[in-house]
Amino acid sequence: MLFKIEARAEPSREMAIAAPLIATGLTVVISSLFFLSLGYNPFVTLYTFFIEPLTTMNGISEWLLKASPLILIACGLAIGFRANVWNIGAEGQLIMGAVAATGVGLFAPWQESPLLLPSMVIAGMLAGIAWAAIPAFLKDRMNTNEILVTLMLTYVAALVLSYLVHGPWRDPEGFNFPQTALLPYNGMFEVFDYSYRLNTSIFFTGIVVAVTWLFTERSFMGYKMSVGGVAPAAAKFAGFNASASIWIGLLASGAAAGLAGMMEAAGPLGQLSPQISPGYGFAAIIVAFIGRLNAFGIVLGGLLLSLLYLGGETVQMSLGLPSSIALIFQGMLLFFLLASNFLINFRIRKTAVRAH
């Protein structure tokens, strides 16, 4: 008996919408069995992981704070992913955005000016764009694999960050910790309440969500990029420019990631350090697919992934479990999501073995 994988004639639209819910449900079920095998009450553990973080105003503040960069980066990635332009290095673009923004914040001669923060925003976005332009150029001119190039550049960006915070930018009054001095007041986002860390940078995320929806759902360029991703041959026949899709897809995601890096440096952290990101650039890939590459779906996906980060910290404090357990949740969620997508587009058929 043999099995054959074949494409479905018409993938189910209803199942495509339900796939993130199915993947989330399976993740919860398998996680329960995992906690049970470790000797923990799965109901108590899941409550601690998913509900307890949202029972206080501080928890809700941290939830939204962590969701903001995930949603922002995922919106940028979704533009490229729709055109089959795979930017896997948003983490590196985030780092470079944070580096450039911090450099402007610390060394610009107009530190007392209200223009400092807008300058940092522009610097962060331009740095992300510049870092993404490298794989865009190589893909466009030499047909290199953007997955490998963007991923490898992430490690280069991490090394640049490490050099700066351990070397020329290290705070001389920071007790030898690898971090810069704190950003000046004019280079920081204003918090809504001094009791919490949530700040006005979330308005940038809201704007990016709206712009992403308009571009992907209401613009002709967004339509052309989507057609190029679904049916490259048809797009080529219609005269759609594949080169434009490469550049727009990578530069848009680079700008979003660079802005996210700037928001982290000028928001909750207030300085540059090796821990500028807990992996937001990679987690945003999961967010983009949970949201089905739709701007408003990405908002829900970002809130879910943010809850995983927050839940990991909560179970560490309450139950003594390692916070890295959140990464297990992320991995399972991505696995089940990809499996659901596969079964939506393909089916496995049993074929009889012919006798010779």
The predicted pLDDT at position 355 comes to: 56
Contact 301, 290 (CB under 8 A): yes
**238 in a domain, yes or no?**
yes
In a domain, 113, yes or no: yes
Within-domain flag for 299: no
What's the predicted TM-score (pTM) here? 0.92
> Alpha-carbon distance 123 to 131, whole Å?
12
Question: What integer is the mean pLDDT of 288-310?
Answer: 94
151 found inside a domain:
yes
Residues found in the chain: 356
> Taking 80 as the threshold, does the pLDDT of residue 277 lie above it?
yes
**How many domains, the chain?**
1
pLDDT at 70 over 70: yes
Instruction: Report if residue 204 sits inside a domain.
Output: yes
Residues 65, 204: Cα–Cα separation, whole Å: 12
Average pLDDT, the chain: 92
Task: Residue 289: name the closest of 340, 337, 222 by CA.
Answer: 337
CB-CB neighbours of 324 under 10 Å: 9
Task: Answer whether residue 32 is part of any domain.
Answer: no
What per-residue confidence (pLDDT) applies to 16?
Answer: 84
Q: What would the pLDDT profile of 41-54 be if each residue is shown by its tens digit?
A: 999 999 999 999 99
Whether 335 is in a domain gets the answer no
Q: Which domain holds residue 114?
A: 73-273
Distance CA(173)–CA(206), nearest Å, equals 37
Q: Is residue 226 domain-resident?
A: yes
- Going along the chain, which residue ranges are E strands? 2-7, 346-351
Mean pLDDT of 181-210: 96
Confidence grade of residue 354 (pLDDT, cut at 50, 70, 90) = low
Q: What pLDDT is attached to residue 257?
A: 98
